[in-house]
Amino acid sequence: MALLTGSNKIKTAVFISGKGSNLRSLIKFTKTIKSPISIELIISDNLKAKGLKYGKIFRIKKKIFNFKNKKFTENKLISTLKNNEIKIICLAGFMQILSKSFIKRFKGKILNIHPSLLPKYKGLNTHKRALNDNEKYSGCTVHFVNTKLDSGKIILQKKVKILKNETENSLAKKILVEEHKLYPKAILKIFSL
């Protein structure tokens, strides 16, 4: 794909629930000329998500949705995405499971980053489970989202070695550093096909 500039960039929403370090790395990526996307919207299910501060810092619109009534909320969310002409959704530490109908509506347009070498360790507590199983390697995966949890087509993975005295915390930190590089690479990969 040729370089996209300014308003030609693909309008993207990033969904977060927590710290938002992947959001931050994606924002940094969008500041580079090679980025095919621009982040227009930050969505969170959590009013207290630390990552929401990046909305203020980088002047990106942010919206908080309460997912208690999923159907109702997703309908409002769809309107918001439409109104902002969002074409791509990047889940970045977003801890809600989106409904099948929402995912179908945005088929092929939702990406997720997951802290394991999928298909191993879908779901939560990935680092703990990898350590308990005495795995030699773990890592992270960027994949398309389909209606089965953490099961969509894999775009890119990065492997990291698990050291002898590795803890859940040290492994999480090490993998997060790789996540920050992998997500932009995966976006470049899908838009250069």
Binding site for ligand GAR (CB under 6 A): 16, 18-22, 51, 92-93, 113-115, 176, 179
Whichever of 85 and 133 has its CB closer to ligand GAR, that residue is 133
Expressed in angstroms, the distance from the first to the final Cα of the chain is 7
Q: At closest approach, how far in Å is the CB of 2 from ligand GAR?
A: 30
Q: At closest approach, how far in Å is the CB of 115 from ligand GAR?
A: 4
Q: At closest approach, how far in Å is the CB of 140 from ligand GAR?
A: 6
> How far lies 94's CA from each of 18, 45, 108, 114, 119, in Å?
8, 8, 18, 10, 19
Catalytic-residue membership of 114: yes
Whichever of 4 and 53 has its CB closer to ligand GAR, that residue is 53
Nearest residue by C-beta to ligand GAR? 93
Closest CA to 90 of 24, 2, 167, 6: 24
- Phi, psi (5° rounding) for residue 41? -150, 135
- Phi, psi (5° rounding) for residue 134? 55, 40
Count of C-beta atoms within a 10 Å radius of residue 97: 12
Whichever of 135 and 179 has its CB closer to ligand GAR, that residue is 179
Choose, from 114, 127, 143, 180, the residue flagged as catalytic: 114
Q: At closest approach, how far in Å is the CB of 66 from ligand GAR?
A: 19
Cα(32)–Cα(163) distance, integer angstroms: 34
Whichever of 55 and 115 has its CB closer to ligand GAR, that residue is 115
- DSSP label at residue 99: P
Q: What positions carry a catalytic annotation? A: 114
